[in-house]
């Protein structure tokens, strides 16, 4: 019996060591960061590409550049709240280096070495170029600091064990920058970069599996609303359930104006998205439209 108990203890320790090794955060190093400083002007454009204010501006606030956080996302894993990402050194991210910022955005790892929950859309942001991320940091450093910390998450056990997210990342994070799709034009691939990377459209429009990972076999075919109410629509070019009847020009115009071809207006979270896409160049809105016309048509889920 004594030997049996010792064997169990050894196996448990070996299992714990294996879990700790497999779940360890993987981060960028200083050599991955460009030597040149970020470009504030370009960073402002990336800010709207990435839709940062859509989640991190205080709910109900008209000031979309004061990133106080606080927006709630109610999920089956718990309630997540967007943090303060203003340049305040205490309540926000004002004390972060460019490397720490890049590790948060591209790897989902905090300056303290903890995994972020994927309510922060790093599963999509990992496709962004490092140059875009560095420029974004330069612009965000110019925003007004907000000295009020956002409330924390309400996450039940076992989901509150952040280290376990390292195993989740093994399934859903490949740490690859966007690669152009074979067979798409330059314009369509620009749209693909915007949709798949900074625009993080999949985060709302693509269904998730039982573990909360994006199911890319049903890419952009509609999903549960991350705000907790209703569903986010299908935006594939399916004629029945998606936007197959919308022309490229109509998609681009909707991203600029917030109006559908039937002259309904977008509401909810999509209204916040249009507040960002309306600031993109016409060329980029046209590129997004071109790509959405090329994705696989799928019925609603």
Q: In a structure prediction context, what are the per-residue pLDDT tens digits for the chain, which is 301 residues long? A: 777 677 677 676 676 677 667 778 999 999 999 988 899 999 999 999 999 999 999 887 878 889 999 888 888 888 999 999 999 999 999 999 999 999 999 999 999 999 999 999 999 999 999 999 999 999 999 999 999 999 899 999 888 889 989 999 999 999 999 999 999 999 999 999 999 999 999 999 999 998 889 999 999 999 888 766 778 899 999 998 899 999 999 999 999 998 888 888 887 788 889 999 999 999 999 999 999 999 999 998 7
Domain with CATH 1.10.760 in the chain: 32-172
d(Cα 34, Cα 150) in Å, to the nearest integer? 31
138/155 Cα distance (integer angstroms): 32
Residue 115, CA distances (Å) to 109, 112, 169, 241, 272 in order: 5, 9, 9, 36, 27
What b/e sequence results for 104-127 when a residue is b if at least 16 CB atoms lie within 10 Å of its CB, and e otherwise? bbbbbbeeeeebbbbbbbbbbbbb
Number of residues that this document lists for the chain: 301
> Tokens in use for 249?
């020009």
H or E stretch covering 285: helix 282-292
Q: Are 33 and 134 in contact (CB under 8 A)?
A: yes
The confidence score (pLDDT) of residue 19 equals 63
Q: What is the Cα–Cα distance from 160 to 211, expressed in whole angstroms?
A: 14
Which CATH class name applies to 32-172?
A: mainly alpha
Please report, in angstroms and rounded to a whole number, the separation of the first and last CA atoms in the chain: 54
Name the 3-class secondary structure at 20. Answer: helix
Q: What does the pLDDT read at residue 15?
A: 66
Cα distance between residue 101 and residue 111, in whole Å: 8
CA distances, 205 to each of 179, 234, 298 (Å):
21, 7, 12
């Amino acid at each position: 019996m004594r030997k049996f108990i010792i064997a169990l203890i050894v196996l448990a320790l070996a299992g714990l060591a294996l879990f700790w090794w497999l779940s360890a955060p993987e981060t960028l190093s200083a050599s991955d960061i460009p030597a040149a400083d970020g470009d504030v002007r370009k960073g402002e454009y990336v800010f709207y590409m990435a839709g940062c204010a859509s989640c991190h501006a205080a709910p109900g606030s008209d000031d979309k550049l004061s990133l106080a956080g606080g927006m709630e996302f109610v999920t089956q894993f718990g309630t997540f709240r967007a943090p303060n990402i203003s340049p305040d050194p205490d309540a926000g991210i004002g004390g972060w280096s460019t490397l720490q910022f890049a590790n948060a955005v591209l790897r989902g790892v905090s300056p303290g070495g903890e995994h972020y929950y994927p309510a922060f859309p790093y599963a999509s942001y990992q496709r962004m170029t490092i140059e875009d991320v560095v420029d974004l940091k330069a612009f965000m450093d110019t925003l007004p600091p907000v000295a009020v910390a956002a409330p924390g998450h309400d996450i039940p056990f076992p989901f509150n064990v952040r280290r376990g997210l390292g195993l989740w990342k093994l399934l859903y994070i490949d740490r690859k920058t966007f690669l152009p799709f074979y067979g798409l034009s330059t314009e369509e691939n620009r749209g693909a970069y915007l949709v798949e990377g900074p625009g993080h459209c999949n985060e709302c429009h693509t269904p998730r599996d039982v573990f909360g990972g994006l199911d890319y076999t049903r890419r952009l075919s509609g999903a549960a609303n991350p705000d907790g109410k209703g569903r986010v629509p299908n935006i594939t070019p399916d004629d029945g359930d998606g936007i197959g009847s919308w022309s490229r020009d109509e998609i681009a115009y909707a991203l600029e104006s917030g109006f559908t071809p039937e002259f309904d207006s977008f509401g909810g979270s999509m209204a916040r998205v249009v507040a960002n896409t309306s600031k993109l160049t016409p060329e980029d809105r046209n590129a997004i439209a071109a790509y959405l016309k090329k994705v696989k048509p799928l019925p609603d889920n």
